[in-house]
Each structure stands twice: as structure tokens, then as C-alpha cells.
């Protein structure tokens, strides 16, 4: 994710300020309200607004309630004038989401996918799957801004390569081997960073937060005032490889005791040979061995949360598809966190992601949405 200039800086061109004001608005906005918000005259507003409408970027969106005089017409951006695709690659599956400029999910698909076959085969697999998805959704290719790819691993944007992705068996793989054959602008990002940025974007809070992505692997992101903090080597937010049990379970990274070894979907599936959904169904039915594993996962997750909170002192958000099942067990997790930290009085800084489904591919798509909005 690239950092953008101040979203509504007075130094921006007027048309940019108008568009971005409408973009971030969630309420009714009339021409008079827009002019006042941007600090410009009505003639200047009309001139710039006409340009935005001619380009198909802004539209009238209906009328406000009358207060006795003429009804004011509302304004809004045209969210589907441009689209973006996000692809999340995991150990076994490919998840594809199509989103409009508001990051509203327009279509979604999950298909079995073997990245190693894509990398080593003579014919690339991703372009065909992407083309089939776009055809099924009747997507006008001229509207497509680009394709964001998210995967569980350390990525280096400076060197355009995946440094290390143990769950995928990748090390030092150039981005172009993954993206080959895709006929659109394409970028590669860490899945936790993409998900965390989408969470912050949709919440519109601009707050500091540490985002944990709990999926087949465990990753995450650090966001400062709503912007991702990458660290000096783009390795920040790798919560999955915090040691939560010295000498503990073996991790795919080659160490022992990592959070990922204790709190990933892979642990559930390899331990019992069942899906995550079936596991939590068994927990609800009080299957003893399932409950024991869940509480062990929560205890180790609490250790990592305390470590991160002690360093960053900010909200902790739990996302990824495992988080879809954690709501009933959040009080237990908070109890474990409180028991392990004598410096806090409550654990209200922990919450589940507001986006329970498909946040990783949506976060990947957000790269090109943000880039487009910043270009207006």
C-alpha cells in the first residue's frame, strides 16, 4: 500500500477536493453543503462539478427532505465507474473478489488453487481463472483499474519479490513469476497488511491499530493514523512468528513455539482432519478434544496480544476467516489477556473485525481503488 497525500489538503486542486469530500461522505451532501465544506464559491463549484460529471465520476443522488422551499439535490460519486479485483492466495485456495470504488463487494469466488503448479507450469493458471471470473460477472475490462494479489508472506516492494512465505513454500520468488500472464496492472502485498488496511478504510476512523489476520497462517499489520507502517524492511506486523511457547510446537518457518503454530486454521485441520466450520460446530456441541484445542489456541493468542499491546499500546483487531467463529469466545480470550497483564484494567481494546467475510481479497483490491481516488 502506498501512502497518499493528506486526503483533503487545501493544496489539492479544487476538483480533487470536491471528489474526495464526496467520496468520504456517508450522509446527504448538497451543492451548497459541498461548497461550504470545501470553502469555495458556487460559480467555482459549478465549473468543477460539471467537469466531474462529464467524466462520469459524480452524479446527482436524489433529493433531500423539503424544509418548506425547493428540495436540495444530493450529490455522490459514481461507485461503479471503475472496479478493482483482489485475489487472496492461500495454501489450498484462491479467493477472488470484485469491488467498486466504495470497496463494496460485487462478486466473490473461491476455487482450489496450487500456486506451485502456477509457478512451475509452462502455462500460467492465474490469468485463466481471472478471465473466467470476469467473464461470468460480465465485467467491462475498460473499467478495471487493476488486480491486487495478497499472500501470507514477507514481501519486498523494493526488490519486487516475496522474501519468505513458509506456508506456501516460497522464498525469494520474484513478483513477476506470480503475476505472469495477467493483462492488467497488478501488485503483490502481504495478506495481513491488505486486510488491516481494508479494516481501517471501512471504519473510516484513522485510528492506530494492530490487526491480526487469523487464517491458514497468522499475519497482520500495524496502522498508524490509518496508514500502514511497513517497517524498514516491510516486515512489520508478522505476529505469526512471535514466540508464545518457547520450545513448543514446530512452525512452518523452522522455529518452535510461534503463534502461527498454535492459532492457525492449519493446526485445526492437521490435528483433526476436519474443516474449520466442522471444528467450531463440534466446539458448540462440547466435544471435549475440540474445546481443549480451542482454549489452548485462545491462551496462546492472549500471550501474543499482550506482547503486542505492551509495545504498541493501541487497539487490537482480530480478522481473517477464523475470526468469523470467535464472537462467542471473545469474553474468554479477554479473561486470558487480563490474567496475563497486570498493567490493564480491562481488555476492551480487543475487538473482532467489522468485515467478517472476504476482507483479504477486498483489501488487495483496495490498492488500486486508493490509487485511483488519489489521482483525481
**287 CB neighbour count, 10 Å cutoff:** 15
Each residue of 88-144: pLDDT tens digit?
998 888 999 999 999 999 999 999 998 888 888 878 899 999 999 999 999 999 999
Assess if residue 168 is contained within a domain.
yes
CA atoms lying within 13 Å on the CB side of residue 322: 26
The answer to whether residues 318 and 214 belong to one domain is yes
- Who wins on pLDDT, 97 or 63? 97
Q: What is the pLDDT of residue 3?
A: 40
Three-class secondary structure of residue 311 per DSSP? helix
Q: What is the pLDDT of residue 21?
A: 93
Cβ atoms of 237 and 209 within 8 Å: the answer is no
Each residue of 155-197: pLDDT tens digit?
888 899 999 888 888 899 999 999 999 999 999 999 988 988 8
Residue 20: give its domain's CATH number.
1.10.10.10
The answer to whether residues 258 and 325 belong to one domain is yes
The answer to whether residues 139 and 186 belong to one domain is yes
* Last residue within a domain, chosen from 43, 60, 77: 77
pTM: 0.85
Is the pLDDT at 345 greater than 60? The verdict is yes
Structural domains counted in the chain: 3
The answer to whether residues 89 and 223 belong to one domain is no
The answer to whether residues 158 and 268 belong to one domain is no
The answer to whether residues 145 and 229 belong to one domain is no
Mean pLDDT of 279-294: 97
The answer to whether residues 174 and 221 belong to one domain is no
Mean pLDDT of 70-85: 89
The answer to whether residues 100 and 237 belong to one domain is no
Separation between Cα atoms, residue 318 and residue 193, nearest integer Å:
13
Q: What is the pLDDT of residue 4?
A: 44
The answer to whether residues 164 and 104 belong to one domain is yes
User: Residue 68 — pLDDT band, cuts 50, 70, 90?
Assistant: low
Assess if residue 345 is contained within a domain.
yes
The answer to whether residues 186 and 211 belong to one domain is no
Q: What is the pLDDT of residue 252?
A: 87
Mean pLDDT of 274-283: 96
Q: What is the pLDDT of residue 202?
A: 81
Assess if residue 138 is contained within a domain.
yes
Three-class secondary structure of residue 146 per DSSP? strand
Assess if residue 298 is contained within a domain.
yes
The answer to whether residues 341 and 306 belong to one domain is yes
Considering the chain, what is the average pLDDT of its residues?
90
User: Residue 8 — pLDDT band, cuts 50, 70, 90?
Assistant: low
The answer to whether residues 49 and 154 belong to one domain is no
Assess if residue 2 is contained within a domain.
no
Cβ atoms of 373 and 101 within 8 Å: the answer is yes
Q: What is the pLDDT of residue 121?
A: 81
Residue 248: give its domain's CATH number.
3.30.420.40
Assess if residue 267 is contained within a domain.
yes
Assess if residue 135 is contained within a domain.
yes
Q: What is the pLDDT of residue 164?
A: 87
Cβ atoms of 130 and 85 within 8 Å: the answer is yes
Q: What is the pLDDT of residue 367?
A: 93
Domain enclosing residue 344, as ranges: 205-352
Assess if residue 151 is contained within a domain.
yes
Is the pLDDT at 7 greater than 60? The verdict is no
Amino acid at each position: 500500500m502506498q501512502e497518499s497525500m493528506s486526503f483533503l489538503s487545501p493544496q489539492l486542486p479544487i476538483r480533487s477536493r470536491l471528489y474526495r469530500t464526496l467520496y468520504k461522505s456517508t450522509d446527504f451532501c448538497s451543492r451548497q453543503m459541498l461548497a461550504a465544506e470545501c470553502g469555495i464559491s458556487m460559480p467555482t463549484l459549478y465549473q468543477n462539478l460539471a467537469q466531474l460529471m462529464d467524466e462520469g465520476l459524480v452524479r446527482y443522488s436524489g433529493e433531500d427532505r423539503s424544509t418548506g422551499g425547493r428540495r436540495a439535490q444530493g450529490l455522490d460519486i459514481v461507485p461503479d465507474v471503475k472496479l478493482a479485483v483482489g485475489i487472496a492466495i492461500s495454501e489450498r485456495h484462491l479467493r477472488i473478489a470484485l469491488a467498486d470504488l466504495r470497496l463494496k463487494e460485487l462478486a466473490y469466488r473461491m476455487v482450489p488453487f496450487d500456486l506451485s503448479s502456477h509457478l512451475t507450469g509452462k502455462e500460467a493458471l492465474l490469468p485463466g481463472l481471472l478471465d473466467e471470473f470476469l467473464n461470468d460477472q460480465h465485467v467491462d475490462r475498460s473499467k478495471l483499474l487493476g488486480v491486487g494479489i495478497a499472500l501470507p508472506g514477507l514481501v519486498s516492494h523494493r526488490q519486487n519479490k516475496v522474501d519468505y512465505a513458509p506456508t506456501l513454500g516460497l522464498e525469494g520468488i520474484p513478483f513477476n513469476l506470480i503475476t505472469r500472464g495477467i493483462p492488467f496492472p497488478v501488485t503483490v502485498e502481504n495478506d495481513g497488511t491488505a486486510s488491516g488496511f481494508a479494516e481501517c478504510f471501512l471504519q473510516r476512523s484513522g485510528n492506530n491499530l494492530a490487526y491480526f489476520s487469523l487464517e491458514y497462517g497468522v499475519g497482520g499489520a500495524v496502522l498508524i493514523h490509518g496508514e500502514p507502517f511497513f517497517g524498514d524492511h516491510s516486515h512489520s506486523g508478522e505476529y505469526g512468528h512471535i514466540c508464545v511457547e518457547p520450545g513448543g510446537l514446530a512452525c512452518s518457518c523452522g522455529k518452535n513455539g510461534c503463534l502461527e503454530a498454535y492459532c492457525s486454521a492449519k493446526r485445526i485441520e492437521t490435528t483433526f482432519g476436519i474443516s474449520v466450520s466442522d471444528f467450531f460446530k463440534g466446539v458448540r456441541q462440547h466435544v471435549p478434544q475440540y474445546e481443549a484445542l480451542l482454549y489452548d489456541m485462545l491462551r496462546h493468542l492472549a500471550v501474543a496480544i499482550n506482547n503486542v499491546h505492551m509495545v504498541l499500546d493501541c487497539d487490537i483487531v482480530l480478522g481473517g476467516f477464523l475470526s468469523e467463529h470467535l464472537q462467542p469466545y471473545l469474553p474468554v480470550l479477554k479473561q486470558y489477556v487480563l490474567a496475563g497483564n497486570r498493567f490493564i484494567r480491562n481488555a476492551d481494546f480487543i475487538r473482532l473485525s467489522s468485515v467478517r467475510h472476504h476482507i483479504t481479497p477486498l483489501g488487495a483490491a483496495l490498492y488500486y481503488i486508493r490509487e485511483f481516488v488519489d489521482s483525481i
